[in-house]
Amino acid sequence: MSQSMPFQAGDLVVVVLQAPRERIWGSLLGLDGAGIRLRGLDLTPWTEVLSLIRTGEGDQVALGTRFLPMHRVEAMYLDEASSGAPSLAETFHQATGLDPRAYLSQP
């Protein structure tokens, strides 16, 4: 019995990478055996990112389209609320007032 992947293009996801360790949040563009295509940003400066966007300095945020080779991928999660904690998309919207999908799709 085969199961389909829970990930679809357009889903908001968090990808955990190794060597070096990074966490990337973004909109999934594609997924195959070679890797993950994603439009997003590094979560390390998350609070700073939210502050820059909220104050109109979003052009200072390193938003980009990336290919993440599968050998670096440790895990990928759907961005969803869990155990009472909001999703990153909900946090983004609450902090900036912007739709996260619209923000992530801008050039």
Strand order in the sheet with 22-32: 64-69, 35-42, 22-32, 12-17, 73-78
Q: Are 39 and 104 in contact (CB under 8 A)?
A: yes
3-state secondary structure of 21: coil
Q: Report pLDDT digits (tens) over 44-90.
A: 999 999 999 999 998 899 899 999 999 999 999 999 999 999 999 99
Looking at residue 2, what is its pLDDT? 54
Domain limits at 93?
12-101
CATH number at residue 97: 2.30.30
**Residue pLDDT, tens place only, 79-106:** 999 999 999 999 999 999 999 999 999 8
Q: Which helix (H) or strand (E) holds 37?
A: strand 35-42
When divided into structural domains, the chain yields a total of 1
Residue 70 lies in a domain: yes
6: in domain? no
- Whole-model pTM over 0.95: no
Phi, psi of 7 (to 5 degrees): -100, 130
Residue 3 has pLDDT above 80, yes or no: no
Q: Is residue 93 part of a domain?
A: yes
Could you tell me if residue 106 is inside a domain? no
Would 3 be classed as within a structural domain?
no
